[in-house]
Amino acid sequence: MIDIKLIRDNPELVRENIRRKFQDHRLPLVDQALELDRKNRETILAADTLRAKRNSLSKEIGGLMQQGKREEAESIKQQVKAMQDELADLEAREGEYEAQLREVMLQIPQIMDASVPLGKNDQENVEMNRYGEPLVPAFEVPYHVDIMERLSGIDLDSARKTSGSGFYYLLGDVARLHSAVLAYARDFMIDRGFTYVIPPYMIRSEVVTGVMSFAEMENMMYKIEGEDLYLIGTSEHSMIGKFIDTMLSDDQLPQALTSYSPCFRKEVGAHGIEERGVYRIHQFEKQEMIVLCKPEDSMAWYDRLWQNTVDFFRTLDIPVRTLACCTGDLADLKVISCDVEAWSPRQQKYFEVGSCSNLGDAQARRLAIRARDSEGRRFLPHTLNNTVVAPPRMLIAFLENNLQEDGSVRIPEALRPYMGGKERIG
């Protein structure tokens, strides 16, 4: 959510930002916001003027009563009562305008960074860099579920009976590999100076609307029936929510946190759920990075965060690349974002394994997260998030890139301590 002052001062900048996102249907929101803001400010001014007049008349009543001028005092009392009724009406209208304005403002996209490439959808994202040599082995690389089944490591049929499509049982060494990757990711981030956190896995609706757009919420979140609770789609949601309605001091920033959680997603949309695979599923686990920082530091943190993911995957001998998300692919709350994609030897192309985002002050504004500098000046901190690793999707890249011709899977040196010293599974 952007500052209403920006819309007042530079509405054309806001409109141009909407056009760059190819969301022309939202252009009327700017005029709606300006009109509601005008009405709200007029109502506030009228209410303040009326309060001042009422207070002045109230003081007169006491003086008239002391002078014995009861009739005049009673007349003024009637005026004050009428003012109170009018004031109550103005205050009610003020609340209505504020609620309507907030609803409109929540739909106006965040101002994007000037470096975000212009494009209509994810097909127009721009490659930034590649890390590691994307190799294709001389032998055939099977589908990832086939690799897992040959290792007796997955049971999709039983999961389909118990839970439906989009779920799985992981077994044996594959299940151990899944947990090992998460444990290694935890320690990897702790070694880089991040504080490890295990957050709540359910959050209230005011946190949901504070951290994401309505479209994302509708397509992702599972609602707990009969309660004001949602299952988190990523730990970023509860981690940013941790700071709701707080005032941070200058020396409390930055907050650099790494969190583990299960994640639950509807996965509604064009992609859908695979019938036989673990790329897009309803339940998975993830290690995340979250940062709250001073506005002037957020772009440096952004580069640092996505580089952490690149470095992590390279320690596991997985080639990756980074893609700058274009304007049409950028979620409404984001200032800038990039995807980290891992190489798939089977498909001979890259696929997404993580996403890094700088959301500027959008989440802080929605959730009333404030900070105060050493001189007492208030500001809104910037928030950022990035995926460290999210198995089982990451396991696809791991298994394909470390598969050996005999069907076994090599364990890179960095992961061996978490696998009981094993160098291979198979």
* Residue extents of the structural domains in the chain: 4-105, 122-425
The answer to whether residues 236 and 220 touch, using CB atoms and an 8 Å cutoff, is no
Q: What's the pLDDT at 270?
A: 46
Q: What's the pLDDT at 60?
A: 67
pLDDT tens by residue, 391-421? 888 999 999 999 999 999 999 999 999 999 9
Indicate if 280 belongs to the active site. yes
Q: What's the pLDDT at 296?
A: 97
pLDDT tens by residue, 257-314? 999 999 999 875 545 555 567 888 899 999 999 999 999 999 999 999 999 999 999 9
Of 60, 72, 267, 352, which one is the catalytic site residue? 352
Q: What's the pLDDT at 74?
A: 65
Who contacts 114 (Cβ-Cβ below 8 Å, separation ≥6)?
A: none
Tell whether the torsion through CA atoms of 100, 102, 106 and 109 is positive or negative.
positive
Q: What's the pLDDT at 166?
A: 87
Q: What's the pLDDT at 360?
A: 97
Indicate if 393 belongs to the active site. yes
Of 20, 265, 346, 366, which one is the catalytic site residue? 265
- What top-level class would CATH report for the domain 122-425? alpha beta
Of 280, 314, 410, 416, which one is the catalytic site residue? 280
pTM of the model: 0.88
Indicate if 352 belongs to the active site. yes
Q: What's the pLDDT at 50?
A: 82
Residue 272, phi-psi category: left (phi > 0), alpha (psi -120 to 50), beta (remainder): left
- What top-level class would CATH report for the domain 4-105? mainly alpha
Of 236, 355, 365, 400, which one is the catalytic site residue? 355
208: nearest Cα among 217, 200, 199: 217
Residues of the chain with pLDDT under 70: 58-68, 70-71, 73-74, 76-77, 214-215, 268-276
